[in-house]
Structure 1
Amino acid sequence: MTNHALFHTLHQLSRQLTNKLNEALKPFGLYSAQWSVLFVLHTKGSLTQKELSEYLFVEAPPMTRTIQRLVKQGYVRQIPGKDKREKFIQLTEEAVKEFPIWEQAVMECNQALLKNLPETSQQELLTLQSIWLKQLL
């Protein structure tokens, strides 16, 4: 397989996975970008907007828009830091309450996507992705 074909296929796969996740989250009024922020905050706790952007590899403007949407929905709040420009983002009580429902929808989506991929292949894919990601960081 040529490098071009490999990257083209990865890009197509990424878009399809995002679309499937968006379909699963649609009943909750969420999109994959919002889910990523919610998941990271649930997993890691309160983070600055800059830390979220760096961790998720998302530039500042789209991250700002995503956070603003989540604030309007009542799922995150912004807490001023020591510096005026620094804002900590944290989940609201509403988000903590709803998180298990969202997570269940995401897990069901993931299981449906993986149903025809043997466990050994899933593990190998995870290993390869981890190696590749470490090389990029």
Structure 2
Amino acid sequence: MQNTHMLFHSVHQLSRELSKHLNDALEPFGLYSSQWAVLFVLKQEGTLTQKELCEYLAVEAPPMTRTIQRLSRQGLVEQHQGADKRKKYIMLTEKAIGKFPEWEAVVMEANHTLLKSFGSQSQEELQALLTEWLGMIKQESRGKGRGKQQ
């Protein structure tokens, strides 16, 4: 593609529109897409350290700290210190576990609305492309990270 600026601009705009759409769907619950991402990962993966959440979601520590604090004030996550006092373990509360199916249903409906114009084959192709691209980006990032530590 000759103009990669347009490709990346389009991807960035798509990301913003997807977040906005998700924010609209989650608004009745007092949640934002960034909070949903944390809740979803904790539901899928279980208890994680704050650092693991940052790495998984590719979010810097300060915004993750703010998101976790908001979720904690809402009674949706709990923080526990590990034996190593520098590690904070984050987990869903019973309240969050109970409400999760309702949030997930709204998110799934929002996702379905956005994808309904794509056939299943197009969705599978898009998923494959995005998974491949994300994998390459993460692999490159890990390579750079190892270079810094040497």
Q: How does 1:31-46 map to 2 (within 5 A)?
A: 31-46=32-47
Tell me the equivalent position of 2:5.
4
Please report the TM-score for the alignment, with normalisation by the length of structure 1: 0.98
C-alpha displacement of 1:136? 0.9
Please report the TM-score for the alignment, with normalisation by the length of structure 2: 0.90
Structure 1 outlier segments of 4+, above 2 Å: none
Tell me the equivalent position of 2:84.
83
Tell me the equivalent position of 1:70.
71
Deviations 1:50-93 (CA, angstroms, capped at 9, x unpaired): 00000000000000000000000000000111111111000000
C-alpha displacement of 1:117? 1.1
C-alpha displacement of 1:129? 0.6
Larger deviation, residues 79-88 vs 98-107: 79-88
* RMSD of Structure 2 on Structure 1 (CA): 0.6
Tell me which structure has the larger Cα radius of gyration. Answer: 2
C-alpha displacement of 1:119? 1.0
Distance in structure 1 (CA, Å) of the matches to 2:104 and 2:82: 29
C-alpha displacement of 1:134? 1.1
Distance in structure 1 (CA, Å) of the matches to 2:14 and 2:135: 20
Larger relative contact order (Cα-Cα within 8 Å, sequence gap ≥ 6): 1
Aligned-pair identity in percent equals 61
C-alpha displacement of 1:46? 0.1
Structure 2 residue ranges without an equivalent (≥5)? 139-150
Tell me the equivalent position of 1:93.
94
Distance in structure 1 (CA, Å) of the matches to 2:62 and 2:24: 24
